[in-house]
């Protein structure tokens, strides 16, 4: 029995084409699963499915553009409100002319306990890590740390206790306060 090279080549092409069609069906199915389906139970043709997907993508793009415009509009409004308001808050001095908060820190000592309130903008997240690092270097034990985000301002609260190694040093709390304030001042300059 002779082997016909054109027959084997034809079979290879058929197999390759069948695999390509199967892969396309899988991809069409994935695309169709991402598009919200209409309530009708009728089977839609492939061209109709692709048309629906294209319309849906265009609708999402339009919606995204509208949301971006709204965000920019709100950001401009909020910054305008922040710049014009004259709050008597202890931290209001941290609002710059751009409307972005520069970092603020408040340290309270109650016996061996320290409460640190760090207020930053979203761009100053690294300051929390640095504050924790300074506290550890000074031998302070972190009891609790939490944060909350209000618009573009992050409020960090750290409850800590002066450790045994720092207890012997009466100036420990003052030194910690000085280091943290110096760090905040340098970072916001």
- The CATH code of domain 5-81 reads 4.10.280
pLDDT averaged over 10-residue windows placed end to end, the chain, 189 residues:
68 93 90 78 81 90 89 66 39 41 81 86 78 85 88 88 67 80 77
Cα first-last separation, the chain: 88
Q: What is the pLDDT of residue 99?
A: 44
As annotated, the residues of the chain forming the CATH 3.30.70.260 domain(s) are 100-188
CA atoms 172, 177, 178, 182: torsion sign = positive
Residue 179: CA count within 13 A, CB half-sphere: 17
- For residue 183, give Cα distances in angstroms to 60, 118, 134, 143, 186: 45, 12, 9, 22, 5
Assign a CATH topology to domain 100-188: Alpha-Beta Plaits (3.30.70)
Q: What is the pLDDT of residue 4?
A: 66
CB 104 within 8 A of CB 94: yes
pTM: 0.44
Q: What is the pLDDT of residue 18?
A: 95
As annotated, the residues of the chain forming the CATH 4.10.280 domain(s) are 5-81
CB 154 within 8 A of CB 119: yes
CB 104 within 8 A of CB 118: yes
């Amino acid at each position: 029995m002779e082997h016909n090279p054109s027959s084997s080549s034809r079979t290879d092409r058929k197999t390759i084409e069948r695999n390509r069609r199967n892969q396309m069906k899988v991809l069409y199915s994935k695309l169709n699963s991402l598009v919200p389906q209409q309530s009708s139970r009728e089977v839609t043709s492939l061209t109709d499915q692709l048309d629906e997907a294209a319309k849906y993508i265009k609708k999402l793009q339009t919606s995204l553009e509208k949301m971006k415009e709204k965000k920019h509009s709100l950001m401009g409004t909020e910054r305008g409100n922040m710049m014009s308001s004259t709050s008597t808050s202890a931290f209001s001095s941290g609002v710059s002319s751009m409307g972005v908060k520069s970092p603020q820190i408040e340290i309270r000592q109650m016996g061996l306990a320290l409460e640190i309130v760090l207020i930053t903008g979203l761009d100053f997240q690294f300051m929390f890590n640095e504050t924790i690092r300074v506290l550890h270097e000074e031998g302070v034990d972190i009891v609790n740390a939490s944060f909350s985000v209000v618009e573009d301002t992050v409020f960090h609260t750290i409850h800590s206790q002066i450790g045994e190694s720092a207890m012997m040093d009466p100036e420990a709390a003052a030194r910690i306060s000085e280091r943290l304030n110096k760090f905040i001042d340098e970072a916001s300059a």
